[in-house]
């Protein structure tokens, strides 16, 4: 998809081969389940799905040219999770190969909705729906800066379109 925005280079974004890939309007981040991700029974500890999702969102933004550190320095704002729901469908286990699939579903003045799934071999393991807000260092909401909005807008796909 040609968005009219020049693709940022790897050196500009900090993206690497570990950043996953953009597929249409979705981002896909492959990851392996390590021992540190599991509980005593070898299953992924429930809170670690939040970490997997965070990595997916961060790498999606990085590939799109939105780096958290640079955004904070340039615009004096950061993104924070306002709301998150998780539906655990199956258990992931030690050594599983997973994919975190992320897509933007709504872009508002100071927030963006993100739909994420953690998948294993074609099976949905966990589904997350999040509202991410743009905040000043004081914790007050602030509108998403226009340059970032312009980057994100082409990747927004409403949940009704899926």
Our answer to whether residue 39 is catalytic in this structure is yes
- Sequence spans of domains, the chain: 25-157
Q: How confident is the model at residue 2 (pLDDT cuts 50, 70, 90)?
A: very low
Digit-coded pLDDT (tens) for 96-151: 999 999 999 999 999 999 999 999 999 999 999 999 999 999 999 999 999 999 99
Question: pLDDT tens digits, residue range 48-80?
Answer: 999 999 999 999 999 999 999 999 999 999 999
How is domain 25-157 classified at the CATH fold level?
Answer: Thiol Ester Dehydrase; Chain A (3.10.129)
From 23, 37, 39, 146, the catalytic residue: 39
| Cα–Cα distance measured from residue 5 to residue 150, given in angstroms and rounded to the nearest whole number | 8
φ and ψ at residue 134, rounded to 5 degrees: -95, 125
Please give the residue that has the higher pLDDT: either 2 or 63.
Answer: 63
Give CA angle at 24 (128, 18), nearest 5°: 70
Mean pLDDT of the 39-43 span: 96
Q: Is the pLDDT of residue 8 over 70?
A: no
What's the DSSP call for residue 154? G
């Amino acid at each position: 998809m040609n968005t009219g925005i020049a693709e940022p280079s790897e050196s500009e974004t900090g993206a690497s081969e570990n950043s996953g890939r953009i597929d249409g309007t979705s981002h896909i981040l492959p990851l392996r389940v390590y021992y540190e991700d599991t509980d005593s029974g070898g299953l992924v500890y429930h809170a670690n799905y939040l970490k997997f999702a965070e990595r997916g969102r961060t790498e999606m933004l990085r590939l799109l040219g939105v780096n958290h550190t640079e955004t904070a320095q340039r615009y004096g704002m950061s993104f924070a999770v306002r709301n998150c729901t998780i539906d655990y469908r199956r258990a992931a286990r030690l050594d599983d190969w997973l994919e975190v699939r992320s897509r933007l579903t709504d872009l508002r003045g100071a927030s963006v909705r993100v739909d994420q799934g953690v998948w294993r071999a074609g099976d949905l393991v966990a589904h997350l729906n999040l509202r991410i807000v743009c905040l000043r260092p004081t914790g007050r909401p602030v509108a998403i800066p226009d340059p970032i909005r312009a980057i994100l807008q082409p990747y927004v796909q409403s949940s009704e379109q899926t």
